[in-house]
Structure 1
Amino acid sequence: MRTSLNLPPLPPHRDHDDDDVEQRVAKAVANHLPLDLHDVSGVFSNTESGMISGGLANGAVVLALPLKGLLGRFGTKTLDEDGAQLPRLGRELAGAAKLAGVKGIFHADELPAYGVTSEELEALRERLALEKNDGFVLCCAPEWQAQLALEAALIRARMAWHRIPQEVRNVVVKKGAPEDGTTSPMRPLPGRSRMYPETDVPPQPLLGERWAEISEHLPMSDQQRAERLAEYDTSIDQSEQLLARELDDVFCEHAGDLPGKAWAALLLNHDASSPRTLANVLSLREDGALARDHVDTVVQAHVGRAVSKEELSAYCIEHDLAPADIGGLEEVINAIVAERLSFVQERGMGAMGPLMGVVMQAAGGADGKEVSALLRAAIQSVLE
């Protein structure tokens, strides 16, 4: 094919293809095979072909596309030893044309046939001013559809000068089963060539003012989102999780004066709960109205609801969820340390773990962090 147009041959492997060379080949082939459609319905006004006469009677037209130098290259139906059709250019052109919704096309190598006579074929070649080696394809369909079909066939014909395309192919099925193992073009492999406008949404005019408004309200980029989170006191892991789970907007919207790490932890652990409820729960904890150990209990009790801080506060009071009084807590801790003085003197700071459990049991509702700090201070004072 390339030799006929004095074009450079294909390399042995597609990995060695040169884009510049292929572009030059494509340009030369496009000049060799232009989109030159002809309405040849008049040639078949008295045809005996049922397919063509039926189409013309229903308002269709017969369009012809000359394909210079391709006579004898379309091929005819030939079977291999297993009964499967051998690949041929004509079948590829038909497969491309069918993507426009037509039932098929006729090409020069298979005519006369299908009711098309030698006389009609000769008149057609004269009408198209074809030379000896020139071929053509015909399509009988509504004009707009025939144009689309032949344009698709032309694009496929031009591919004959290039390497076999990488594409998704469709198995030819007849009567609910594969016909003979042959395939036809279906769609390109995913890539830039697959990008196309949304067909179900009509185009909308985009005025300058609208474009400016859109440009001023674009969503934040990933980098901008990360930079925004960096302004809060969160760990690297928390920031990454907030971004990955797309919770950063919620985090920033309700952060306020809440401690960053505590707010991030609560949101990540209860992302299905109302952010407003979570923020109010944490605010109560920071105000000293809710013990740290009861935070999850309060969240679970109000899951699925956006609850005000006042309502949550009343719930905490009703269920006695406030931390133990720090003054009374200190007395409890000092009493426990004094009671187990010999144990503390023997174990030193190693007594922290065992005594934590004792204190937490004795001072129900106490904040574990407060207990730990007071117990540490009490043990250190005894050991000094």
Structure 2
Amino acid sequence: MDYKKLELKIGLEIHQQLKTGKLFCRCPSETQENNPDYIVERKLRAVAGESGTIDLAAMQAEVRGNIYSYNFYNDSNCLVELDEEPPKQMDAESLSTALQMSLLLDSRIVDELHVMRKTVIDGSNTTGFQRTSLVATGGVLKIEDREIRIQTICLEEDSARIVGREDGKVSYNLDRLGVPLIEIATDPDIRSPDEAREVAKIIGGMLRATEKVKRGIGTIRQDLNISIKNGTRIEIKGVQELNLIPKYAVSEIRRQTSLLEIKEELSKVKISAGKPINLSKALAKTESKILRTAIDAGGAVFGARLSGFAGILGREIQEGRRFGTELSEYAKAYGARGLFHSDELPAYGISESEVEKIRKELRVGEKDAFILIADEEENCRKCISIASDRALIAAKEIPGETRKALPDGNSSYMRPIASSARMYPETDLSPELIQKSLLSEIRKSLPKMPREYVKELRKKYGLSQNLAEKMQRSDFLKMFERLTKETKADPVIIASTFTNAVKLLDEEFILQEQHYMELFNALSEGNFSKEAVPKILEEWSKNPDKNLEAIVKKTGIKAISEQDLKKLIKEIVTQKKELIKEQKGRALQPLMGLVMKEVRGKADGKIIMKILKEEIERVDRKA
């Protein structure tokens, strides 16, 4: 794609959990999987913000009418999380970390910290709002020869963790609610999907450099704001894997370009949406399981004509996703179980004759399409009207949306883009001055930036650029630095072990530093080769209480003496004289493979290579 011609703009919002206590209470931030001590149920409703208007995203959540259930644990929750007690003062360590990031990005720190309430009534917060505070504005991130402007740095509380859904009810655990999040938002200065990944990688590295952030899946989430020429800003929420960022961006670009093509087509024909019509009688004998279930439960099947939409609903706009899917997702967001459209029928047990009945009842012509929803009658009327309205909007614009990141790199509709209508001041907390003395103290202990650290690792330990980058991002960085001082093992081998061999273990942290100390001391003494390390670690992680000698014995990889190694290599070379005569120096690699097969883990590869070269040269000279 020509991103410049498309006028692509991407902005990022990075949300990183901190490994401090919770933001507005003193509870620990521990994941709970046991049965709760209490369960509290609530319903939430949307209200107008300071501007006097109701946020559309909040209104959508209210229309669904869900009941929200919260799991409460005595040892890790308190009344603050249940909204039965005012919040406590903001956690000092969390604020210090946010200020540290602000200084690293050269942002303008506010003089006074004001906590705001952001209306959120999807049940993810017991209060019906999320507490958030602006810490800094502006700043810049340098990447190669470009600068990406920083828009804002905020400190906010994370939402409750969803643990279950059933009809009309959503269940949450309160273990994650209130965990501090640093939110770093960039301006839409990013000009390609790959650049978006690079920016996220650099900011993530800076956050880890503070040593105050949580690690692992779900602890950092990226939201992408994407727009193209004649398109609109779309927010894709919840991207967790760094390497998938380009895929989400490309998928959204394709979606918007496809929607613009649909808009162009629809502008050339007369379009309209028919009134929702009850089709239950016409489909009374249907064998479609979905339609049958709704009718037998006292519900209904409703349909609506979309004039001028023939062939449009089946148009692919993302990989494996069609325009009809967009309409279905809008209907689902307001409570429908799903939606059928004419471009995919007959299917799902709906026969061809039934399709003809539907077309007749709805007065669908050759240039028209139709949509169906099976549910409770009131829900059918509401949701089919919403889906019809979304179809008609396609002829005018691409609507601004917040979309959910799907595992396959696509996204699905969640809600309208949130507006400033949902923000209002916190009434239970006073503004807090940012003391200059605090900033002076933080400036004295700013961490090294990832790029500086990588340069130091390369220079000090002789690591390659790739290995240094991996090591800098590793949870074992500090241990690596200690072990290089306290053992005689090659730093490259230690780094490779932590970034490759340890990563493959099922339990990364079951082995302690003392295990690795013994391992690398034994390696440097020649008790086994570096090739044996992965196998030893695999076995030791299963039996961490055993001593290293017993593990080495069990694996059967005790080091072979150099004398025995020379003897073995000489035998193999003698057997392969004809190969050496034919291929000369090119015989090295196949012979290396044969030797390694015999002594893997028992001898160092460099030593094997040296002896093998000498033996090949000897045989070659005689020939």
The two structures share one fold, judged by TM-score above 0.5? no
Task: Name the TM-score, length of structure 1 as normaliser.
Answer: 0.43
Task: Name the TM-score, length of structure 2 as normaliser.
Answer: 0.28
| Higher relative contact order (CA closer than 8 Å, sequence separation 6+) | 2
Higher helix proportion, which one? 1
| Structure label with greater radius of gyration | 1
